[in-house]
């Protein structure tokens, strides 16, 4: 039996239960998605988009994962007491930007148990940032297929932090699809912070659909993980949109972090920025592939992409692949990527001043990834992340810092 | 001065593709199609030893199992491999004419004269370039062979080398680009006809530039040349390659392999001005240029430099690469790729660092105009043992016209913590400011574009030998003629 077949069978056997637990708005896409998944199968390493990660190994089923089939009711966070018809909202947005061309997304659409929905009405401004703690604490080896839908209507603004954590040492395999719709003039800051463990495998696909003058700042921080693949796709659909995709990765042991981003300039006058920094140590593997696509007619596009990496050990591997695909002439696009080591001169400077080598290295690494953190405009979050990075480098990161849950 | 220069450019440009003529010469073309018998026939026509035939057959059998690769950012039209003739010999008549042996058909001589390649040694202008002239599947003549022989340099067609220096060829052929390397490499290994063979012995600095000129003439044929260059310890050679083809409505296939072996302290400079027929302005016809070029820097302190100016071909699919095995070896890649009308180019390089303290530099300049697509694709790989490896890559793209595309696909695979790899790329059009500056000083827009483009490509053109640099500059202007306004 092929690997795919076991998932197809899983779906067939549990279809009724899945359908019973979720609204039709979610269920209507399941069959087609499963069909798309079964025709594509899990991407082999030959598939360009998945060349740096072994998807088949992640899903090989050697771990006996259990899966929660009964979906919890749809969760909605509504800012205003305006009644929102969930069904209508879901029909309008759910599965509209995520596509079945990605087999992981297709699998998620078919098997997802629940959908978290965050909806902001027209011109609604969220006063305080929302932090969502996604905690893996099943007590058994578990597989999960999560779904998040974020909708900002015209002129709305929000700051969201998604914090992925583990609370026990079981194996986890999770797929997650986040669909984000940012309306005209709306502003979204979305932070994702991963702090799981080495037995955790995550596939996280994020899709942004952006309107005119929409602004998105996405920051993707991998502090600790097992195997993580982030696929981030930003579609600039309205003129004068601006998207920033930043991220930093600290990896050691046998961790793998593969970030695959796509920014599609589909209309003129949009701007995109991208800054990704990696520190790969011990036997870890870091991969970055960032494509900027400028469609025909998308004149006056401006794009700047930077990827900088440090290989800190003999056995660590770093793959980087910044790409430009441009079909319009009046554009300014650039990318730069480097792979290197810590600056010898800077290390010498620090040691000369009595700082031991290990500490000096740590300081430099901290400063190196710190650049990504400094881009975050919220001071409190920025400070907290700096502390977490320091702790991460010292190997003290047993629990997270500063969030309400831990301080209790 | 600038006016004169422009007048010349215009004059050349009006001629469009000036090498598009055909030569009316009796050419012996074998039957179309590809099977084991054809492979055997080619081998027997060239009078090859058994080991060569075995090599070809192995490659052919492997090729049969393979499918055409699809990953390039180009749309290769359907190629019917059975509708191509794999061997065309324009010199066949000569061989029959026994008393004229050693003389070249005057038609052929005229053709090469027209292309600016004198086959008579006394006519060679600068007197410092030896030429191997190849039409279709056969080497027509190699000049200055004797002078080179005195120094111990072997410069001849590969067909001749297989017969006369069999051992040397056998030792190196297929070691840099094995026949299993890719689909087109397997095809070439099975049916390759002529190409050049160069051997520079230990400690010899080749006294003149060596050059090969490739010409496709016959209809419905493909050219499958194979070049092998071996630079032994402490030697130096500069090798140039040029190519043209007649204007035809159908696509012609050109699948070549170039292998270079560089030993201790040796240096090889390989320059190409590729000017195959690019097809007409509607994208009809043109040469499909699908080649595998690779150099192996085996020795310590060895050096290899690829310089290419790519202006022709309907489709270019080529990655001159370097495997840096020797410690302290250095590799360079300089490229200007120009595409216009419906041309498509997917070109770049691979730098594979294996040895310690190896260094590589990549400078790539892409210029796309009309409705063409121009991609840079490159790989820099630092192996686990390549301590202190260093790479710098820079690839810039210039867009002239709103319907063309420029793409960059660089890959960096780093497995060593002491390596430093840098890559940067930019894509933009010619800035309004620069144009305005020129206009303001009385330079018309078209001329200003030429000026800016030439300046943009200067980094690469400067690396070419002088005669080539002049030609390349002219080609650049011609290829871009009519792209402004």
Q: Spell out the per-residue pLDDT of chain A, length 408, in tens.
A: 688 888 898 888 888 888 887 788 888 999 999 999 999 999 988 888 899 999 988 888 776 777 765 444 444 444 433 344 578 888 889 999 998 899 999 999 998 877 888 889 899 998 888 888 888 888 888 888 999 999 999 999 999 999 998 888 888 899 999 999 999 999 999 999 998 888 899 999 999 999 999 999 999 999 889 999 999 999 999 999 999 999 999 998 889 999 999 999 999 999 999 999 999 988 899 999 999 999 999 999 999 999 999 988 888 999 999 999 999 988 999 999 999 988 889 999 999 999 999 899 889 999 999 999 998 888 888 998 998 888 888 877 654 444 444 443
* Cβ neighbours of B360 (radius 10 Å): 26
Q: Are residues A166 and A31 in the same domain?
A: yes
Contact B424 A334 (CB under 8 A): yes
Q: Which residues of A touch B (CB under 8 A)?
A: 48, 296-297, 299, 309, 311-341
Q: Are residues A215 and A263 in the same domain?
A: yes
User: Which residue is closest to B370 within chain A, CA to CA?
Assistant: A329
Contact B402 A322 (CB under 8 A): no
| pLDDT value at residue B121 | 57
- Chain B CB contacts of A341 below 8 Å: 417-420
| pLDDT value at residue B145 | 82
Q: Which helix (H) or strand (E) is A306 found in, with range?
A: strand A302-311
Phi, psi of B222 (to 5 degrees): -125, 160
* Cβ neighbours of B118 (radius 10 Å): 17
Query: Which position has the higher pLDDT, B86 or B14?
Result: B86
Q: Are residues A240 and A201 in the same domain?
A: yes
CA-based nearest distance B485→chain A, Å: 14
Q: Are residues A156 and A304 in the same domain?
A: yes
Q: What residues pair up with B155 in beta bridges, in sequence order?
A: B198
Q: Choose the closest CB to A324 out of B403, B408, B412.
A: B408
List, for residues B91-116, the tens digit of each pLDDT value: 765 545 544 445 667 777 777 777 77
Quote the percentage of chain B above a pLDDT of 70: 90
Distance CA B446, CA B398 (A): 15
Q: Choose the closest CB to B407 out of A318, A325, A341.
A: A325
Task: Please say if the pLDDT value at position B223 is more than 90.
Answer: no
Q: Which helix (H) or strand (E) is A26 found in, with range?
A: helix A24-27
| Band of pLDDT at residue B137, cut at 50, 70 and 90 | confident
Contact B384 A312 (CB under 8 A): no
- Chain B CB contacts of A336 below 8 Å: 422-425
B34, B81 Cβ separation under 8 angstroms: yes
Chain B stretch 389-408, residues whose beta carbon is closer than 8 A to a beta carbon of chain A: 397, 399-408
Task: Please say if the pLDDT value at position B347 is more than 80.
Answer: yes
Distance CA B261, CA B235 (A): 12
Relative to beta strand A317-326, strand B405-414 is: antiparallel
Q: Are residues A187 and A273 in the same domain?
A: yes
Task: Please say if the pLDDT value at position B303 is more than 80.
Answer: yes
Q: Are residues A334 and A353 in the same domain?
A: no
The encoded tokens of residue B212 equal 């090969």
User: Which residue is closest to B372 within chain A, CA to CA?
Assistant: A327
CA-based nearest distance A290→chain B, Å: 10
Boundary (domain end) residue, out of A342, A360, A387: A342
List, for residues B383-411, the tens digit of each pLDDT value: 999 999 999 999 999 888 888 899 999 99
Q: Are residues A282 and A351 in the same domain?
A: no
A6, A61 Cβ separation under 8 angstroms: yes
User: Which residue is closest to A291 within chain B, CA to CA?
Assistant: B409
Q: Are residues A236 and A374 in the same domain?
A: no
Q: Are residues A187 and A85 in the same domain?
A: yes
Contact B420 A340 (CB under 8 A): yes
Alpha-helical regions (H) of B66-157: 92-96, 106-114, 145-150
A57 CB-near residues (< 8 Å, 6+ apart): none
Contact A322 B71 (CB under 8 A): no
Count A/B contacts: CB-CB distance under 8 Å: 117
Mean of all residue pLDDT scores within chain B = 84
- Chain A CB contacts of B411 below 8 Å: 319-321
Q: Are residues A408 and A274 in the same domain?
A: no
ipTM of the complex: 0.84
Contact A338 B422 (CB under 8 A): yes
Q: Which helix (H) or strand (E) is A9 found in, with range?
A: helix A3-21
- Chain B CB contacts of A328 below 8 Å: 399, 402
Q: Choose the closest CB to A336 out of B73, B417, B424.
A: B424
Task: Please say if the pLDDT value at position B294 is more than 70.
Answer: yes
| Band of pLDDT at residue B482, cut at 50, 70 and 90 | low
User: Which residue is closest to B422 within chain A, CA to CA?
Assistant: A338
Residue from A274, A282, A324, A344 to probe the interface with B (highest B Cβ count within 10 Å): A324
User: Which residue is closest to A283 within chain B, CA to CA?
Assistant: B415
Contact B418 A341 (CB under 8 A): yes
Distance CA A182, CA A188 (A): 7
Boundary (domain end) residue, out of A287, A317, A342: A342
Distance CA B415, CA B352 (A): 11
Q: Are residues A369 and A272 in the same domain?
A: no
Boundary (domain end) residue, out of A342, A374, A398: A342
Q: Which domain holds residue A39?
A: 3-342
Contact A319 B412 (CB under 8 A): yes
The closest of B395, B397, B393, B398 to B380, measured between CA atoms, is B393
- Chain A CB contacts of B407 below 8 Å: 323-326
* Total domains in the fold of chain A: 2
In chain B, % helix, strand, coil (3-state, to 5) comes to: 25, 35, 40
C-alpha distances (whole Å) from B85 to each of B136, B186, B187, B251, B368 are 11, 17, 13, 13, 33
A158, A118 Cβ separation under 8 angstroms: yes
Chain B stretch 98-117, residues whose beta carbon is closer than 8 A to a beta carbon of chain A: none
A262, A102 Cβ separation under 8 angstroms: no
- Chain B CB contacts of A339 below 8 Å: 382, 412, 414, 419-421
Q: Are residues A31 and A149 in the same domain?
A: yes
Phi, psi of B160 (to 5 degrees): -65, -40
């Amino acid at each position: 039996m092929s690997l795919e077949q076991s998932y197809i069978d899983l779906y067939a056997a549990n279809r009724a239960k899945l359908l019973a637990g979720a609204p039709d708005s979610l269920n209507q896409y399941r069959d087609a998605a499963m069909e798309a998944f079964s025709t594509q199968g899990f991407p082999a390493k030959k598939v360009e988009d998945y060349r740096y990660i072994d998807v088949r190994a992640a899903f090989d089923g050697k771990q006996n994962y259990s899966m929660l089939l009964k979906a919890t009711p749809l969760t909605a966070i509504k800012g205003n007491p305006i009644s929102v018809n969930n069904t209508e909202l879901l029909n309008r947005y759910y599965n509209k930007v995520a596509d079945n061309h990605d087999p992981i997304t297709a699998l998620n659409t078919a098997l997802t148990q629940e959908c978290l929905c965050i909806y902001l009405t027209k011109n609604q401004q969220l006063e305080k940032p929302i932090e969502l703690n996604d905690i893996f604490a099943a007590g058994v080896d578990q597989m999960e297929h999560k779904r998040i839908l974020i909708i900002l209507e015209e002129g709305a603004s929000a700051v969201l932090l998604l914090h992925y954590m583990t609370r026990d040492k079981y194996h986890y395999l999770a797929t997650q699809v986040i669909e984000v719709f940012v309306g005209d003039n709306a502003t979204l800051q979305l932070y994702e912070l991963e702090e799981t463990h080495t037995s955790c495998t995550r596939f996280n696909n994020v899709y942004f659909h952006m309107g005119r003058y929409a602004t998105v700042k996405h920051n993707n921080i991998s502090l600790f993980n097992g195997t993580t693949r982030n696929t981030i796709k930003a579609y600039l659909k309205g003129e004068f949109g601006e998207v920033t995709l930043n991220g930093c990765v600290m990896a050691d042991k046998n961790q793998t972090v593969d970030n695959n981003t796509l920014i599609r300039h589909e209309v003129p006058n949009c701007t995109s920025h991208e800054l990704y920094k990696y520190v790969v140590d011990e036997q870890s593997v870091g991969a970055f592939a960032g494509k900027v696509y400028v469609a025909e007619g998308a004149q006056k596009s401006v794009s700047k992409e930077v990827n900088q990496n440090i290989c800190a050990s003999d056995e660590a591997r770093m793959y980087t692949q910044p790409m430009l695909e441009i079909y319009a002439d009046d554009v300014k696009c650039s990318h730069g990527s480097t792979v290197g080591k810590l600056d010898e001169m800077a290390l010498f400077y620090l040691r000369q001043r009595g700082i031991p080598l290990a500490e000096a290295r740590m300081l430099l690494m901290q400063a190196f990834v710190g650049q990504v953190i400094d881009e975050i405009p919220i001071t409190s979050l920025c400070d907290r992340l700096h502390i977490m990075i320091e702790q991460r480098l010292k190997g003290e990161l047993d629990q997270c810092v500063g969030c309400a849950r831990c301080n209790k | 001065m600038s006016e004169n220069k422009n007048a010349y450019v215009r004059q050349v440009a009006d001629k469009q593709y000036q090498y598009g003529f055909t030569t009316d010469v009796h050419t012996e073309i074998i039957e179309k199609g590809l099977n084991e018998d054809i492979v055997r026939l080619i081998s027997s026509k060239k009078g090859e030893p058994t080991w060569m035939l075995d090599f070809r057959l192995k490659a052919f059998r492997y090729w049969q199992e393979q499918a055409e690769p699809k990953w390039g950012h180009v749309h290769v039209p359907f190629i019917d491999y059975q509708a191509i003739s794999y061997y065309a010999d324009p010199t066949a008549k000569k061989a029959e004419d026994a008393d004229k042996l050693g003389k070249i058909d005057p038609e052929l001589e005229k053709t090469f004269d027209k292309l600016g390649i004198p086959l008579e040694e006394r006519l060679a202008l600068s007197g410092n370039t030896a030429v191997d002239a190849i039409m279709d599947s056969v080497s027509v003549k190699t000049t200055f062979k004797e002078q080179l022989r005195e120094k111990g340099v072997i410069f001849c067609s590969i067909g001749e080398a297989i017969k006369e220096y069999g051992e040397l060829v056998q030792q190196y052929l297929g070691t840099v680009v094995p026949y299993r390397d890719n689909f087109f490499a397997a095809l070439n290994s099975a049916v390759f006809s002529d190409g050049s063979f160069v051997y520079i012995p230990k400690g010899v600095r080749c006294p003149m530039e060596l050059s090969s000129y490739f010409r496709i003439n016959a209809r419905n044929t493909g050219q499958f040349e194979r070049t092998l260059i071996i630079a032994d310890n402490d030697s130096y050679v500069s090798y140039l390659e040029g190519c043209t083809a007649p204007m035809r409505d159908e696509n012609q296939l050109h699948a070549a392999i170039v292998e270079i072996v560089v030993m201790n302290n040796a240096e090889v400079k390989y320059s190409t001005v590729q000017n195959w027929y690019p097809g007409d302005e509607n994208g009809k016809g043109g040469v499909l240029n699908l080649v595998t070029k690779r150099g192996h820097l085996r020795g310590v302190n060895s050096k290899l430099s690829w310089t290419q100016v790519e202006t022709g071909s309907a489709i270019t699919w080529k990655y001159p690469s370097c495997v840096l095995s020797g410690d302290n070896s250095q590799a360079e890649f300089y490229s200007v790729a120009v595409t216009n009308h419906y041309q498509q180019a997917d070109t770049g390089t691979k730098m594979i660092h294996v040895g310690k303290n190896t260094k590589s530099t990549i400078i790539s300049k892409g210029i796309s105009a009309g409705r063409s697509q121009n991609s840079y694709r490159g790989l820099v790989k630092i192996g686990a043992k390549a301590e202190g490896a260093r790479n710098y890559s820079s690839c810039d793209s210039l867009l002239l016209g709103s319907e063309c595309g420029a793409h960059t696909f660089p890959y960096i695979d780093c497995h060593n913590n002491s390596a430093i790899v840098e890559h940067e790329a930019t894509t933009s059009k010619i800035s309004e400011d620069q144009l305005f500056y020129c206009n303001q000083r009385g330079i018309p827009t078209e001329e200003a574009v030429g000026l800016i483009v030439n300046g943009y490509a200067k980094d690469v053109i400067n690396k070419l030998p002088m005669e080539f640099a002049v030609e390349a500059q002219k080609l650049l202007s011609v290829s871009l003629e009519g792209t402004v306004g």
